[in-house]
Amino acid sequence: MSDALFARATSTAPTEQARPWIERRLPDYCREILRNCGMESHGSDSRVVKLAMEGTADLPNILSNFANKILLMSYSAVPSALKKICRVSSIADFKTAYRLRLGEFPQLEQVLEAGEVHHGPIMEAKASYALGTFGKIVAFTWQAIINDDLGALATVTAGAGQAAANMEADYLVSLLAGAASNGPTMDDGHALFDNTYHANLGGAAGISVSSVSTARAGMRRQKGVDSKTLIDAEPLYLITGAEQQSAAEMLHTSLYAATLSNVNPLGGTLTNLIEPRIDSA
């Protein structure tokens, strides 16, 4: 039944099991549910809907399954561009979770003949996070079920999926652009973007060959947890708001230049991630 509701709401082909229910109304679903439960199924639409809602969990479960399908489809349709730079993980409860990162292997030392091999420490870094609960209740009324107003339920549920995706996108931008664009405070007590401790702030503002080249060189010079080993990180994405989208696209355009001085060294080296929320962050 939930598959049939989903097919109706999305104008998609129903499964074979759902096909017999594709043209039937929600009150008809209630009558079938009551018959299957050995309950009285005669009477007006309002009566059978009330009995199905109060006397069995089948109707709420069917509507819940249908809503979840719409919710997931709507949520997946509008992902934030910043999700490309995120890693998804799962935790079992609401306690603060920690993720440890082992540092680099200690630098090797020459061992002279009959010499001693020394011990060396492996440094580590950690980050913490925790789950949060977000929600909002919107009622789907008894009258809507009687009226077979499936479109209203689908619209409201789709809106919930979009709201979840928007909230997620807002939160990701706030992580990067919060605290005067310095980002969150890390477990080392310093902001994510901090030249003194993390050496990861670029030079001039705006997108140009010069500013992006400076930032790329800074990433190449990044050092590991031990503050000694070069990571030589190669940038993959250029994240920007809508206002700088054209500048970012021009930066990545590869053209055959007439003179060497006009060659664009960054052409085709980065992938643009456009997140319009950055403009107002």
Query: Which residues, 6+ apart, have CB-to-CB distance to 91 below 8 Å?
Result: 97, 131
**Residues 6+ away with beta carbon under 8 Å from 274:** 81, 240, 241, 242, 245, 248
> In this structure, what token pair is assigned to residue 197?
């401790």
Supply the pTM of this predicted model: 0.75
Three-state DSSP state, 239: strand
Checking if the pLDDT of 252 tops 80, the result is: no
**Given the structure tokens 């540092």, which residue do they identify?**
103
Among 219, 204, 175, 166, CA closest to 85: 175
- DSSP-derived secondary structure for 22-82: TT--HHHHHHHHHHHTT----S-HHHHHHHHHHH-SHHHHHHHHHHHHHHHHHHHHS--GG
**Per residue in 183-211, pLDDT tens?**
888 888 889 888 888 888 876 778 888 88
> pLDDT, tens digit, for every residue of 46-77?
888 888 888 788 888 888 899 899 989 998 88
